[in-house]
Amino acid sequence: MGKLRKKDLARQFGTSVRNIPSISEYDFRYESLSPSEQANIVAKVLRRIDSGTMSKTGSVSRWMRGWREAFEEYDRTGQLSALVPKYIRTRQALRLNGQFIMPVDAEMELNWYQVFREWLFREYFEPFDHIFEFGCGTGFNLAILAQMYPDKQLYGTDWVQSSVDILHLMEVRCDWNIKGSLFDFFTPNYDIVIPPNSAVFTIGALEQTDTRYWSFIEYLLHMKPALCVHIEPIIEWYDESNLVDYTGIRHLRERNYWSGFPAAMEKLESRGLVKIIKKKRTGFGSLFIEGYSMFIYSVI
């Protein structure tokens, strides 16, 4: 039986143990799997990928349906648990350091993500007056930020109106400093101005842009936010010789997830347009992908 401890999370996040929030309320135990069990999961994942049933990136109708369901449940119950994205699944194998594991707690991924977000938001967003999340979905991340930083102005954007409706409901119901607006990564609205002393972030959003994220990067270069944080799957950091990683690569390619971003940013840095602050693969992920890699930079 294995267990994630603070020292393990510190290594995943690229920080010191003293910066890790309390994890005493969570059960981070997991079972290591035998070679045959690993092989069975690999086969299961590959069969699903080869089935041709997986949706492709840019499926706005799917987001419209998903975010509308979240809005209706949050409106009815008032519970922030209604905003947990459906892609954070329970009762399935997870990825850890290039292997599949079986968590003891069915909600281990969500609990890991709760700790990760609290660390990330305290580590990087405390100095800023304005925080923007692009591709905010259900507003799950902004709800946490609003509770951590009640005096900061928060902004959320997404492709679909139901996401904006959730943020408006949060603003009214909770008296939080949250504003929402529609935003298309492919045709950015330059009327959405990023003020000085602002941070922007994406979590599992730019992954949906295939190779068409450049318009958004140009928007950021124009607006010059003080800090940009992207938490996304980065295919270039997978190891193709590792079978578990290979299934992740296959999944990302099958669904047309983004690619080429690290090289594009390194080219921008060589031109003196950005300064890369952190590049970190956490080594933790869901059944199909490892979606919590960090790419953090400032715009010069």
Q: What is the CATH number of the domain that holds 256?
A: 3.40.50.150
pLDDT < 50: residue spans in the chain? none
**In this predicted structure, what is the pLDDT of residue 91?**
85
- Percentage of the chain exceeding pLDDT 90: 91
Residues listed for the chain: 300
Q: Are 158 and 182 in contact (CB under 8 A)?
A: yes
The residues near 80 (Cβ < 8 Å, ≥ 6 apart) are 74, 140, 143
Q: Are 151 and 177 in contact (CB under 8 A)?
A: yes
**In this predicted structure, what is the pLDDT of residue 58?**
64
Interval 181-211: pLDDT, tens: 999 999 999 999 999 999 999 999 999 999 8
Show the tokens assigned to 158: 């997404």
Helix then strand count (H, E) for the chain reads 9, 12
Interval 100-132: pLDDT, tens: 999 999 999 999 999 999 999 999 999 999 999
- Residue span of the structural domain in which 260 resides: 2-299
Show the tokens assigned to 186: 């492919």
State the pTM of this model: 0.96
**In this predicted structure, what is the pLDDT of residue 248?**
97
- Number of domains making up the chain: 1
Which amino acid type is present at position 10? A
